[in-house]
Amino acid sequence: MNKRTVLTGITTTGTPHLGNYVGAIKPCIDASHDKDVKSYYFLADYHALVKNRDPERMRQSTLEIAATWLALGLDTQRAAFYRQSDIPEILELTWILTCSTAKGLMNRAHAYKAAVQENVDAGEDPDFAITMGLFSYPVLMAADILMFNSTHVPVGKDQVQHLEMARDIAQRFNHHYGEHFALPEAVVEEHVAVLPGTDGRKMSKSYNNAIPLWLPEKQLRKAIMKIVTNSLEPGEPKNPDDSALYAIYAAFASREQREAMRQAYRDGIAWGAAKQETFELINNELVQGRERYEALMAEPARIEQTLAEGAVKARDWATPFLARIRKAIGIRKLG
Ligand code: TRP
């Protein structure tokens, strides 16, 4: 195995926003065209189930996220693009790994600990509303990763601990049953901008400051016009480095465009004009994708077909690989 194997999962909760686009979707789609890597991108719907128990929202979010990745040109010839729940081998591997995962390791997971702490702070029972799904989340994630011998896993900083756990789980298994799993590494893109939202804090659905990726043109313009700025008048010099609007502009701009805009700020561009330019830049980047997105959303069966093809590709690997794992643990034909 000399090729890099890149794999990442997208939890199917919510509607994609500009921050997701800049921070994750765009870099992954660009990477999907690299012929020196083998890549897997999947919709982590069983991870979404941990937080989302509304069936209609589950389906809608899966549809929107799949349509987004396809509309933006994910190379589905090169990369395997599938839905986690279409690969039953992943759940089978999850149980196998669960049986060699230390409970103590899971006790240390940040997300689980934070949920316990919230309960304690609220004077509740520490286990209040905590499901086994939340507790075992890192094992499912390890199965996603180890199933395909992934070597490089692009994730946000908040997921680094999960990658360490996946390595830990793989090592324990390998130590006991022989070298079956590659040890994955987290790839955290430090230079990818963390996009601020309309209020200047990090763009996030939970802060209610996110700009959805596929707003119709007019609404996109409106949303950009609402980004907070200060009260400096037209003609007064402005500091690009403490402006959310500039940070958003910069995430979409070429180096020349960034330089020119920085100069315009120093020369006192009016906030209204800076917003208009920001809108035009973003809209231009998204206009073609938006058309493809709308066409795909109108034809969910086409998306389903693409995901089915991705599942075939993923299972071409997963089925024989899992057969080897089962054999290794002693689940074998008796005759
Ligand atoms: N837990 C990841 C997140 O919330 C999503 C995810 C699920 C994932 N399985 C994965 C990411 C496997 C990388 C590899 O972002």
pLDDT, position 192: 75
User: Quick check: is 335 in a domain?
Assistant: no
How many structural domains does the chain have?
A: 2
Please give the angle made by the CA atoms of 84, 87 and 90, to the nearest 5 degrees: 80
Mean pLDDT value across residues 81-85: 98
Q: Both 51 and 187 in a single domain?
A: yes
Give the pLDDT score at 202: 93
145 lines ligand 1 (CB under 6 A): yes
Q: Are residues 311 and 290 in the same domain?
A: no
The candidate with the shortest Cα–Cα distance to 195, out of 23, 35, 46, 326, is: 23
Pocket flag, ligand 1, residue 8 (CB < 6 Å): yes
Q: Are residues 135 and 182 in the same domain?
A: yes
271: Cβ–Cβ under 8 A, 6 or more apart, which residues?
Answer: 229, 232, 234, 238, 245
Task: Say what the pLDDT of residue 89 is.
Answer: 98
Protein residue with least CA distance to atom 12, ligand 1: 9
Whether 205 maps to a domain, the answer reads: no
- 179 with 243, same domain: the answer is no
Do residues 304 and 288 both lie within one domain?
Answer: no
**Is residue 316 domain-resident?**
yes
In this structure, the answer to whether residues 120 and 241 fall within a common structural domain is: no
Do 219 and 103 lie in a common domain? no
Q: What is the CATH number of the domain that holds 271?
A: 1.10.240.10
Q: Residue 206 domain-assigned?
A: no
Measured in angstroms, how far is the CA atom of residue 319 from the centroid of ligand 1? 21
Residues 73 and 169 in one domain: yes
Mean pLDDT throughout 207-224?
A: 97
CA distance 18 to 248: 9
Confidence of residue 2 (pLDDT cuts 50, 70, 90): low
| CA-nearest residue, atom 5 of ligand 1 | 9
The model's pTM is 0.94
**pLDDT confidence band for 75 (50 / 70 / 90):** very high
Q: Is 306 in the pocket of ligand 1 (CB under 6 A)?
A: no
Query: Tell me: the pLDDT tens digits for 104-143?
Result: 999 999 999 999 999 999 999 999 999 999 999 999 999 9
Residue 285 lies in a domain: yes
Is position 57 within any domain?
A: yes
> Which ligand 1 atom sits nearest the alpha carbon of residue 137?
1
Residues 161 and 281 reside in one and the same domain: no
Distance of CA 44 from the midpoint of ligand 1 (Å): 7
pLDDT of residue 15: 92
314 and 283 within one domain: no
In this model, does residue 26 exceed pLDDT 70? yes
State if residue 44 touches ligand 1 by the CB under 6 angstroms criterion.
Answer: yes
Helix 88-98 with 300-329: angle, nearest 10 deg: 40
Query: Residue 204 falls within a domain, yes or no?
Result: no
Same domain, 175 and 287: no
Structural domain that includes position 46: 4-194+300-329
Q: How far is the CA of 126 from the centre of ligand 1 (A)?
A: 26
38, 314 in Cβ contact below 8 A? no
* Residue with CA at minimum distance from ligand 1 atom 10: 9
- Residue 133's CATH number: 3.40.50.620
73 in a structural domain: yes
Residues 36 and 118 in one domain: yes
Which residue owns the Cα nearest ligand 1 atom 7?
Answer: 9
- pLDDT, tens only, 152-198: 999 988 999 999 999 999 999 999 999 999 999 999 988 777 899 99
Mean pLDDT for all residues in the chain:
96
- 28 Cβ below 6 A of ligand 1: no
Is the pLDDT score of 1 beyond 60?
A: no
CA of 247 to the centre of ligand 1 (A): 26
Q: Look at ligand 1, atom 13, and give the residue with the nearest C-alpha.
A: 8
Ligand 1 centroid from CA 33, angstroms: 21
Which atom of ligand 1 is nearest the CA belonging to 11?
A: 5
Q: Quickly tell me which residue has 């200047």 as its tokens.
A: 200
Backbone angles phi, psi at 203, to 5 degrees: -65, 120
